[in-house]
Structure 1
Amino acid sequence: MTDVVIRPLVAGEESLFDSMPDPLPELRQVAYADGVAGGGYRPERTWVALRGGRVVGRAAWLLPPGAAGAPWLERFDLAAEPEVGAAMLRAAHEAFGGPVPYHAALPAHWRRRPEVLAVVEPPMAAARLAGLAERGERLRCSWTGTPLPASSGRYTFRPPAGTAEIDALVARVARPDVLTGMEIAKAVAGVDLATDPLAWLGGSLEAWRVVLDAGEPVGLAGTAGDACYPLFAYLGVLDEAARPELLAEAVRVLDEGGAREVVADVDAHRVAVVADLERSGFRRLRSRVRFEPAPAGSVPD
């Protein structure tokens, strides 16, 4: 790490972050300048590694104004050895009072693309060296007007009778299939979207659909048409066969409200759910690999 200077930015140096070329321009991300303007990014939570005066590593931790939780690493690019990136993360963690999570945004199908792997493997290796451990991958998928599958006629749909019905059905769903924005809900408001979606989405019953089989509720979906993107926020089923039709019904709700794109987040290992999304016309936009502070005493990979 000869001649490497690692430090946070100071006010007025924001353009230094953007002096490093974006290695993955295909990713849809909030621009750093827009994040600073909105208050989520701050100079003191933005660190750079400079070699010969040139930025070879940059890391920006995000915390929306008014958030209840701690910042997380949202942008991390590295054009140097993983050890340089690890040193930058360790210095920042020390300033923050301890390590914090890293949400690594990656292009869709990134493992199949050698040119992408060459970009993303160094910062991920640096995260591991800095004491962060991989804890799962989530996919963001997008529907942009593809014709929806026709209903089989087996299931019917209606808005919930009230918030009590939503709460009761959520309590019966052991593992929701779709949870979009769960990381933001947790960090900003301390809300677990899987168990208390109304605390994050609000109580508008028209944004929800209950699916019924012979009059019995077998699942529900919650949407949000006025978020940063129209999104499929929550989907949980008691009968997996109902999932494709509930997916289509929830998208129709947003489509009829004027949405031209709908986004949905799903755990990458939920293969059947991903397949149902893709059969409904969703396509993968990106992946997000979550790194969390490793337990004390563990050895980095």
Structure 2
Amino acid sequence: MTDLVVRPLVAGEEELFDSMPDPLPQLRQVGYADGLAGGGYRPDRTWIALRAGRVVGRAAWALPPGSVGEPWLERFDLAAAPEDGAALLHAAHQALGGPKVYHAALPAYWRRQPEVRAVVEPPMAAARLAGLVEQGERLRCSWTGGPLPASAGGPLPASAGRYSFRPATDAAEINSLVARIVAPELLTGAETARVVGGVDLARDPLAWLTGPAQDWRVALDGAVPVGLAATAGDACYPMIAYLGLLDESARGELLADAVGTLAAGGAYEVVADVDAHRVATVAELDRTGFRRIRSRVTFALPQA
């Protein structure tokens, strides 16, 4: 068999990356050319594996300009054995100063689709051979509708009327509630906040979500706050950036209120990220009319 050649791209040959057919065209992700134009991708952080002059593996580490963190492996496609992919990663890691986090973007319900698993399992196996271990899975979900009440996504679940909702009063109220919420149910864009701004979205969301306090919704049981949600309508797309609870019974009504608030403001799509192991939250997203559009499995060095 022809020897494998592993190397980074050099300026002027960026088209080599796209010479490998996209194995998952159904997956929504930033194209390589767009990533180069935006500065997140660079040729020296893009590596390829060639056999007989043909690209059989490609890997692109992303880092938006101005970020305080390290690049992460955003695109990794492999049309070769996992051992070849591991050779690519080992060489790139050495040049990049050590292994970096790998966020494997996968279609929703990828485990149920044998043809998709055949594509995504070799690069994940290569990551394991290169010393990375699976750290968890997050789902990106999307509610698609339009300005309420006429919504193509269907009506939101009816409120049981137990809870009322209002905008947050100010940053002090938001911070006070965040301090009492042990683990938020939804954190959308948490990885970006950490790498780009060095912000822990779960503990200090206002360091990243700089919109007005009125973009936050407070769930009340009588006069007592029992939940908090950040409706970020002016971000790159409308999202529920944060949702945390002090009373789990408020989950469904707070979620519906947050979506309704964004839709009433003109949003046609609302996205939310949730850890896959949060079964109750995933089920509530389904009930509210969200559909899963992507899975993201994270690989990193074993934690000490």
Indicate whether the TM-score tops 0.5: yes
Task: Give the match's secondary structure for 2:141.
Answer: strand
Amino acid in the other structure paired with 1:166: I
Partners of 2:211 and 2:84 lie apart in 1 by 47
The equivalent position to 1:167 in structure 2, one of 168, 175, 179, is 175
Q: What corresponds to 1:235 in structure 2?
A: 243
Partners of 2:271 and 2:42 lie apart in 1 by 28
Task: Give the match's secondary structure for 1:143.
Answer: strand
Deviations 1:183-230 (A, max 9, x none): 000000000000111111114112110000011000100021122221
Partners of 1:13 and 1:225 lie apart in 2 by 39
Q: What corresponds to 2:74 in structure 1?
A: 74
Q: What corresponds to 1:124 in structure 2?
A: 124
Write out aligned runs for 1:37-186 (5 A): 37-145=37-145, 146=153, 147-186=155-194
Partners of 1:185 and 1:164 lie apart in 2 by 21
Partners of 2:57 and 2:281 lie apart in 1 by 36
Whether the aligned pair in 2 keeps the contact of 1:45 and 1:61 (CA below 8 Å) is yes
Task: Give the match's secondary structure for 1:201.
Answer: coil
Whether the aligned pair in 2 keeps the contact of 1:163 and 1:203 (CA below 8 Å) is no
Identity %: 74
Write out aligned runs for 1:194-205 (5 A): 194-205=202-213
Partners of 1:237 and 1:136 lie apart in 2 by 22
| Unpaired stretches in structure 1, ≥5 consecutive residues | 297-301
Partners of 1:48 and 1:210 lie apart in 2 by 49
Partners of 2:302 and 2:89 lie apart in 1 by 14
Partners of 2:210 and 2:169 lie apart in 1 by 15
Task: Give the match's secondary structure for 2:48.
Answer: strand
Partners of 1:226 and 1:164 lie apart in 2 by 22
Amino acid in the other structure paired with 2:123: P
Whether the aligned pair in 2 keeps the contact of 1:180 and 1:233 (CA below 8 Å) is yes
Change beyond 3 A, Cα 1:275–1:295? closer
Deviations 1:57-98 (A, max 9, x none): 000000000001000000000000001100100101000111
Whether the aligned pair in 2 keeps the contact of 1:142 and 1:285 (CA below 8 Å) is yes
Whether the aligned pair in 2 keeps the contact of 1:67 and 1:187 (CA below 8 Å) is yes
The equivalent position to 1:270 in structure 2, one of 254, 278, 284, is 278
Amino acid in the other structure paired with 1:25: P
Whether the aligned pair in 1 keeps the contact of 2:6 and 2:50 (CA below 8 Å) is yes
- The more displaced of 33-42 and 205-214 is 205-214
Runs of 4+ with deviation above 4 angstroms: none
Q: What corresponds to 2:20 in structure 1?
A: 20
- Kindly tell me the number of residue pairs found equivalent between the two proteins: 296
Q: TM-score, normalised by structure 1?
A: 0.97
| Unpaired stretches in structure 2, ≥5 consecutive residues | 146-152
Whether the aligned pair in 2 keeps the contact of 1:61 and 1:75 (CA below 8 Å) is yes
Q: CA deviation at 1:293?
A: 1.4
Whether the aligned pair in 2 keeps the contact of 1:9 and 1:48 (CA below 8 Å) is yes
Q: What corresponds to 1:219 in structure 2?
A: 227
Deviations 1:75-131 (A, max 9, x none): 000000001100100101000111110000000001111000000000000000001
1:254 aligned to 2:262?
yes
Q: TM-score, normalised by structure 2?
A: 0.96
Q: What corresponds to 1:299 in structure 2?
A: none
Whether the aligned pair in 2 keeps the contact of 1:232 and 1:264 (CA below 8 Å) is yes
Amino acid in the other structure paired with 1:221: A
Partners of 2:52 and 2:303 lie apart in 1 by 36
Whether the aligned pair in 1 keeps the contact of 2:169 and 2:214 (CA below 8 Å) is no
Q: CA deviation at 1:294?
A: 2.6
Whether the aligned pair in 2 keeps the contact of 1:141 and 1:264 (CA below 8 Å) is yes
Task: Give the match's secondary structure for 1:74.
Answer: strand
